[in-house]
């Protein structure tokens, strides 16, 4: 990600990623999945490997989704974040060719 970039561009990229992470954490803690999902997709598009999206899905599930007797539906945020990350990675590779 940082090869061939100047120090200023690297700092902006790192600060942008940290700011997006903070917004993602706040939206997950507040239970705003409708904000967390677009933020995660934007992060996956802008940064090479945005594992924070998967972690946010797991945190959302552990806070709001894991109820006894829910089965697989208790893991929908984690499964959805992995699928969204995969789709964005494929689309990015196709579009940026």
For residue range 23-63, list pLDDT tens digits in order.
999 998 888 888 988 998 888 888 888 888 888 888 888 88
Q: Estimate the crossing angle of helix 76-95 against helix 33-46, to 10 degrees.
A: 30
Instruction: Read off the pLDDT of residues 66-85 as tens digits, 9 standing for 90 and up.
Output: 777 777 777 888 888 888 88
Tell which wins on pLDDT, 48 or 91.
91
pLDDT band at 19 (very low <50, low <70, confident <90, very high): very high
Question: How far is residue 81's CA from residue 28's CA, in Å, rounded to a whole number?
Answer: 12
Q: What is the pTM of this model?
A: 0.74
The stretches of 1-97 forming alpha helices (DSSP H) are: 7-30, 33-46, 52-60, 76-95
């Amino acid at each position: 990600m940082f090869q061939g970039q100047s120090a200023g561009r690297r700092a902006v990229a790192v600060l942008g990623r940290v700011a997006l992470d903070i917004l993602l954490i706040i939206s997950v803690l507040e239970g705003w999945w409708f904000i967390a999902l677009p933020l995660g997709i934007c992060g996956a598009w802008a940064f090479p490997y945005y594992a924070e999206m998967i972690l946010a899905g797991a945190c959302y599930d552990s806070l709001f989704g894991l109820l006894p007797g829910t089965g697989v539906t208790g893991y929908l945020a984690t499964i959805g974040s992995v699928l969204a990350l995969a789709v964005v990675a494929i689309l990015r590779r196709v579009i940026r060719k």
